[in-house]
């Protein structure tokens, strides 16, 4: 009778790139089995789709065709598609060397159109009395061609830009030419940043300075008086509603950025004393990104709405509710909160 089988790896070098040989120490007549002799399951197109989750993150723009090639549909389900493998081969025949960076600006145009159409339908459905004004954060992609395309495609929708630093503000001022679009000014602000944002109004920009630290209130007041221009101001609130997802830890009343309720009241007092309370027109807040739970978004909107109404009652000329970007983007399509 053979003894119980015990498996052992022979010549198992941790730095080796070869598959180890598996031997059986059970009986002398045991067959030698190698990894290459094990039954192999042929890889299918369905396996590739499952591994790379193209349907989760790529629909309706990217997919795999019957030949196993990645295809792109720049207009989504409203236009034709291109086989990327065939496209690359065609470019190589034109003596273009790899690697190549291929941009499909039609995808950007389609996304802007879909986003604004969704808000337009919701506004009509609920008989909302105001409008939607989207802004693109320049920090997400500072490439000149993309920013210029985005501004051009967003022109009919008055799509604006958001700057989080002085260099980004310069980019926005150089490209944004639509008076109806918003230029939201976030991030760290010194006197020069604030003065530049205020002077942008003379260029026809609707620039909004979002105050995120209590010290910025005094800087905005001083810059306004020095330039003789009344700015459009906003405040970023720290909501008690805590977000979920990958960046949920950066939200809530312990968030790094934003003003607490006592600080907002203090800011209102300083602006009123300076005769600038009417400049306060926007309330901004963040609850993170990759949020697939609609209940979290509803709770945050409800809390922010209370603050918005109270600011209006205190005398602020409220016009904008600025919801921090990225919250509804499910990057991998898994519909999960990480």
Q: Delimit the domains of the chain by residue range.
A: 7-37, 47-93, 105-323
Contact indicator for 209, 188 with CB cutoff of 8 Å: no
Q: In this structure, is the dihedral angle defined by the CA atoms of residues 144, 148, 153 and 159, taken in order, positive or negative?
A: positive
- Report pLDDT for 324: 81
Query: What was the pLDDT predicted at 32?
Result: 57
Count how many residues are written for the chain.
338
Is the bond leading into 60 cis (omega within 30 degrees of zero)? yes
d(CA 274, CA 96): 62
* Domain 105-323, classified CATH 2.40.30.10, yes or no: no
Q: Taking a C-beta distance cutoff of 8 angstroms, is the pair 250, 303 a contact?
A: no
Predicted local confidence at residue 20, as pLDDT: 46
Residue 173 pLDDT: 96
Strand-strand pairing, 160-163 and 182-185: parallel
> What is residue 23's predicted lDDT score, i.e. its pLDDT?
38
pLDDT at 13: 42
In three-state secondary structure terms, 237 is strand
107: tokens are: 């995808």
pLDDT at 56: 81
C-alpha of 235 from chain center: 21
Cα-Cα end-to-end distance for the chain: 54
Strand order in the sheet with 70-72: 62-64, 70-72, 82-83
Reported as a single tens digit per residue, the pLDDT across 209-267 is: 999 999 999 999 999 999 999 999 999 999 987 666 555 565 666 667 799 999 999 99
Residue 4 three-state SS: coil
pLDDT at 19: 44
Residues in the chain, pLDDT under 70: 1-39, 242-255, 325-338
pTM listed for this prediction: 0.81
Read off the pLDDT of residues 292-326 as tens digits, 9 standing for 90 and up. Answer: 778 888 899 999 999 999 999 999 999 999 998 66
């Amino acid at each position: 009778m053979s003894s119980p089988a015990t498996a052992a790896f022979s010549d198992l070098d941790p730095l080796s790139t070869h598959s180890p040989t598996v031997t059986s120490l059970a009986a002398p007549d045991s067959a030698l089995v190698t990894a290459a002799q094990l039954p192999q399951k042929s890889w299918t197109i369905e396996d590739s789709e499952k591994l790379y989750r193209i349907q989760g993150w790529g629909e309706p723009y990217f997919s795999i065709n019957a030949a196993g090639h990645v295809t792109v549909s720049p207009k989504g389900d409203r236009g034709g598609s291109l086989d990327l493998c065939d496209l690359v081969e065609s470019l190589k025949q034109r003596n273009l060397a790899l690697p190549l960076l291929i941009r499909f600006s039609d995808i950007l145009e389609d996304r802007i159109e879909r986003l604004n159409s969704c808000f337009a339908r919701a506004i009509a459905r609920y008989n909302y009395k105001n409008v939607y004004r989207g802004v693109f954060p320049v920090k997400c992609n500072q490439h000149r061609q993309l920013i210029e395309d985005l501004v051009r495609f967003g022109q009919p929708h008055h799509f604006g830009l958001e700057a989080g630093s002085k260099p980004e503000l310069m980019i926005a001022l150089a490209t944004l030419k639509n008076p109806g679009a918003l230029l939201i000014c976030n991030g760290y602000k010194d006197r020069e940043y604030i003065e530049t944002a205020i002077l942008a109004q003379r260029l026809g920009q609707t620039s909004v300075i979002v105050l995120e630290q209590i010290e910025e209130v005094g800087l905005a007041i001083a810059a306004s008086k020095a330039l003789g221009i009344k700015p459009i101001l906003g405040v970023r609130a720290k909501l008690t509603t805590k977000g979920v997802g990958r960046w949920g830890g950066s939200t809530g009343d312990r968030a790094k950025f934003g003003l607490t309720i006592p600080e907002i009241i203090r800011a209102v007092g300083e602006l009123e004393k300076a005769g600038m309370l009417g400049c306060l027109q926007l309330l901004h807040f963040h609850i993170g990104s990759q949020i697939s739970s609609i209940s979290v978004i509803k709770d945050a909107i409800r809390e922010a709405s209370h603050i918005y109404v109270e600011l209006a009652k205190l005398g602020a000329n409220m016009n904008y509710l600025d919801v921090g970007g990225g919250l509804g983007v499910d990057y991998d399509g898994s519909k999960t909160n990480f």
